[in-house]
Amino acid sequence: MSKLNIVILAAGKGTRMHSNKPKVLHEVGGKPILAHVIDCAKALNPQKIIVVYGYGGEIVREAFAHEDIVWVNQAEQLGTGHAVQQAVPYLDADANTLILLGDVPLVDAEACISLIEQANNKLAILSFNKADPTGYGRIIRAATGNVATIVEHKDARISQQAIKEVNTGIMAMPNAHLTKWLAQLTNNNAQGEYYLTDIVELAVQQGIAVVAEVTADEWSVTGINSKIDLAQIERVYQSRTAQKLLQQGVTLKDPARLDVRGTLICGRDVEIDVNCLFEGNVTLGDNVKIAANCVIKNAVIQAGTHIAPFTHIDDTQIGENSRIGPYARLRPGTTLAADTHIGNFVELKNTQVDIGSKINHLSYVGDTTVGKNVNIGAGTITCNYDGANKFRTVIEDNAFIGSDSQLIAPVTIGKGATIAAGSTITKDAPAEQLTFCRAKEQKSITGWKRPIKIKK
Ligand code: UD1
Ligand code: MG
């Protein structure tokens, strides 16, 4: 294979997004539009990826600081040809170039490969047939079937405007030719722009074949110009993600009511009910069931675990055969071993729970180490924060915490200890004993009256 350079055009202003955020940073499937294009580019193993960005685009550069990219500033947007001209100093003389558009997130690597394969001695263009081709450059084919020229909509004669085959903007060619053609572009056209598409005529004049490959997948070449486009592409992206999961054997109660903003990896016989949102990297083991209305972010959930409705999980690992929710909230740094039960209105943060332990009702457990087979009663709170510092609670194996207890950290509850309901525990509780800390006696006051509201 010849060397490959990829130039991504991303200098357009994106006026119709009506947003202060650069267009290519708006997200599809939880990932910036431009990140989708860069990922496609990387999959093609190029020697170099060059992104042409525009005025005010420093934020774009910063968003991709971790990527190996050559950034080229096109201070004034004088057209697609002018944009590619800015990249010329960085092109490898002996390579071919693939041009991609920074606002086309569903770009298809297979279609690109097909263009690249022809780019050694040809100008290869990706086209598609559009029912309403208004605004697009029309592909004008010669009798041979090769492309004779591309005429932009505003420059097209009425007869040319009737042509439905349009330019996607994605094309590939040898750099030796590209650099020469770019130097010959003029802006003598209806928009006063340097059109990249004018290289077609230059190629034809020099006897270089120009071929157009027609794609049937319109979404894979659709650019985003407005929030309407963004919302449409988001739905297409989500429906494609759902189809892939179904093909792998995942049961989706309704593929139209699933959102994946990141990567979702599923084992066998996974079931996902309606209205679930997966963010970041989520892995679900075999036989995992996710009930309706769960939000799950950066989590590993192992085989056989069931998540009941309305559960929120963030940065958490859950072992096998556990039962979580409904209405549980698992916050970052939480690790649950196998066979754990976390019930309704339980919030866990930075807490490690060992095998077989249960926290079933209305509790806050933060910065805590919970041993094996511990039972934490309803309404238990670990008081981990003194207003300035956080402290840890340790609850050892087989401990039993009575309902409505407060464990004031730092504190350790020993092995097999029992804490009586309603206790406020400020000192370590010894193993195997009952510890309680309540008001000494239960009193009743006769004749006591409830306060009444004072009238102002
Ligand atoms: C261009 C093509 C047209 C094609 C259409 C597909 C030309 C002259 N026309 O149209 O044949 O049907 O794309 O969508 O190439 N850009 C820059 N700098 C510029 C101008 C544009 O980086 O100075 C970038 C934009 O950010 C965008 C891409 O190039 O990603 C296409 O620009 P856009 O203005 O949307 O395309 P058109 O010129 O309308
Ligand atoms: Mg334009």
Helix axes 80-87, 175-183, angle to 10 degrees: 120
Residue 56 has pLDDT above 90, yes or no: no
Q: How far apart are CA 24 and CA 105, in angstroms?
A: 9
Do residues 68 and 45 make contact, with C-beta atoms less than 8 angstroms apart? no
The finding on whether 12 has its CB within 6 A of some atom of ligand 1 is yes
Q: Is residue 454 part of a domain?
A: no
Shared domain for 275 and 370, answered yes or no, is yes
DSSP 8-state secondary structure symbol assigned to residue 390: B
| Backbone φ, ψ for residue 32 (5° rounding) | -55, 145
Residue 55 has pLDDT above 80, yes or no: no
Residue 14 has pLDDT above 90, yes or no: no
Which ligand has an atom closest to residue 223 CA?
1
> Which protein residue has the closest C-alpha to ligand 1 atom 35?
12
Confidence of residue 237 (pLDDT cuts 50, 70, 90): very high
CA 9–ligand 1 middle distance (angstroms): 8
Do residues 303 and 290 make contact, with C-beta atoms less than 8 angstroms apart? no
CA 68–ligand 1 middle distance (angstroms): 24
Which ligand has an atom closest to residue 226 CA?
1
Residue 95 has pLDDT above 80, yes or no: yes
- Which tens digits make up the pLDDT trace of 341-376? 999 999 999 999 999 999 999 999 999 999 999 999
CA 79–ligand 2 middle distance (angstroms): 7
Confidence of residue 297 (pLDDT cuts 50, 70, 90): very high
The finding on whether 167 has its CB within 6 A of some atom of ligand 1 is yes
> Which protein residue has the closest C-alpha to ligand 1 atom 25?
12
Q: How far apart are CA 380 and CA 118, in angstroms?
A: 68
**255 preceded by a cis bond (ω within 30 of 0):** no
Share of the chain above pLDDT 90, in %: 95
The pLDDT of residue 271 is 99
State the average pLDDT for the chain. Answer: 97
Q: How far apart are CA 101 and CA 221, in angstroms?
A: 9
The pLDDT of residue 57 is 83
The finding on whether 74 has its CB within 6 A of some atom of ligand 1 is yes
Do residues 54 and 11 make contact, with C-beta atoms less than 8 angstroms apart? yes
The finding on whether 358 has its CB within 6 A of some atom of ligand 1 is no
Average pLDDT over residues 229-249: 98
Q: Is residue 233 part of a domain?
A: no
Q: Is residue 452 part of a domain?
A: no
**Torsion region of 298: left, alpha or beta (phi above 0 gives left; psi -120 to 50 gives alpha):** left
The finding on whether 197 has its CB within 6 A of some atom of ligand 1 is yes
Q: How many domains does the chain have?
A: 2
- CATH number of 154's domain: 3.90.550.10
Structure tokens belonging to residue 95: 């390579």
Shared domain for 431 and 292, answered yes or no, is yes
The finding on whether 52 has its CB within 6 A of some atom of ligand 1 is yes
Atom of ligand 1 lying closest to residue 102 CA: 30
Q: Is residue 230 part of a domain?
A: no
Confidence of residue 241 (pLDDT cuts 50, 70, 90): very high
Do residues 403 and 419 make contact, with C-beta atoms less than 8 angstroms apart? no
The finding on whether 174 has its CB within 6 A of some atom of ligand 1 is no
CA 80–ligand 1 middle distance (angstroms): 5
| Backbone φ, ψ for residue 266 (5° rounding) | -120, 140
Q: Is residue 456 part of a domain?
A: no
Residue 251 has pLDDT above 80, yes or no: yes
Contacts of 408 (CB under 8 A, 6+ apart): 383, 424, 425, 426
Atom of ligand 1 lying closest to residue 9 CA: 22
Q: How far apart are CA 89 and CA 167, in angstroms?
A: 26
Q: Is residue 69 part of a domain?
A: yes
**Domain coverage including residue 335:** 249-445
Q: How far apart are CA 189 and CA 197, in angstroms?
A: 12
Helix axes 109-118, 33-43, angle to 10 degrees: 50
Confidence of residue 190 (pLDDT cuts 50, 70, 90): very high
What is the torsional sign of CA 107, 109, 114, 118? positive
Shared domain for 115 and 256, answered yes or no, is no
Shared domain for 211 and 264, answered yes or no, is no
What is the torsional sign of CA 149, 154, 155, 156? positive
Contacts of 110 (CB under 8 A, 6+ apart): none
The finding on whether 10 has its CB within 6 A of some atom of ligand 1 is yes
Torsion, Cα of 378, 383, 387, 390 (10° steps):
-130
Shared domain for 285 and 208, answered yes or no, is no
Residue 1 has pLDDT above 90, yes or no: no
Shared domain for 263 and 172, answered yes or no, is no
Do residues 195 and 189 make contact, with C-beta atoms less than 8 angstroms apart? yes
Average pLDDT over residues 98-106: 98
Average pLDDT over residues 415-422: 97
> Which protein residue has the closest C-alpha to ligand 1 atom 34?
12
Shared domain for 193 and 281, answered yes or no, is no
Q: Is residue 232 part of a domain?
A: no
The helix/strand/coil state of 73 is strand
> Which protein residue has the closest C-alpha to ligand 1 atom 22?
11
6, 52, 80, best to mutate for ligand 1 pocket (most atoms within 8 Å of CB): 80
Shared domain for 392 and 433, answered yes or no, is yes
Helix (H) / strand (E) containing 247: helix 227-247
Shared domain for 294 and 214, answered yes or no, is no
Contacts of 328 (CB under 8 A, 6+ apart): 308, 311, 312, 313, 342, 343, 344, 345, 346, 347, 348
The finding on whether 57 has its CB within 6 A of some atom of ligand 1 is no
The finding on whether 82 has its CB within 6 A of some atom of ligand 1 is yes
The pLDDT of residue 12 is 85
Which of 183, 202, 221 is where one domain is finished?
A: 221
CA 288–ligand 1 middle distance (angstroms): 46
Listed residue (352, 338, 344, 347) closest to 365, CA to CA: 347
DSSP-assigned beta bridge partners for residue 165: 129
Catalytic amino acids? 361
Q: Is residue 239 part of a domain?
A: no
CA 195–ligand 1 middle distance (angstroms): 8
Instruction: Determine which of 244-248, 252-256, 434-438 has the lowest per-residue pLDDT on average.
Output: 434-438
Q: How far apart are CA 407 and CA 427, in angstroms?
A: 9
The finding on whether 137 has its CB within 6 A of some atom of ligand 1 is yes
Average pLDDT over residues 204-226: 97
- CATH number of 288's domain: 2.160.10.10
Atom of ligand 1 lying closest to residue 193 CA: 8
Average pLDDT over residues 281-304: 99
Shared domain for 206 and 281, answered yes or no, is no
Share of the chain above pLDDT 70, in %: 99
Terminus-to-terminus CA distance in the chain, angstroms?
87
Atom of ligand 1 lying closest to residue 196 CA: 15
Atom of ligand 1 lying closest to residue 103 CA: 30
Q: How far apart are CA 272 and CA 396, in angstroms?
A: 35
CA 73–ligand 2 middle distance (angstroms): 17
Q: How far apart are CA 211 and CA 146, in angstroms?
A: 5
The pLDDT of residue 439 is 77
DSSP 8-state secondary structure symbol assigned to residue 219: G
Average pLDDT over residues 162-180: 98
Shared domain for 43 and 190, answered yes or no, is yes
Shared domain for 357 and 408, answered yes or no, is yes
The finding on whether 101 has its CB within 6 A of some atom of ligand 1 is yes
Which ligand has an atom closest to residue 189 CA?
1
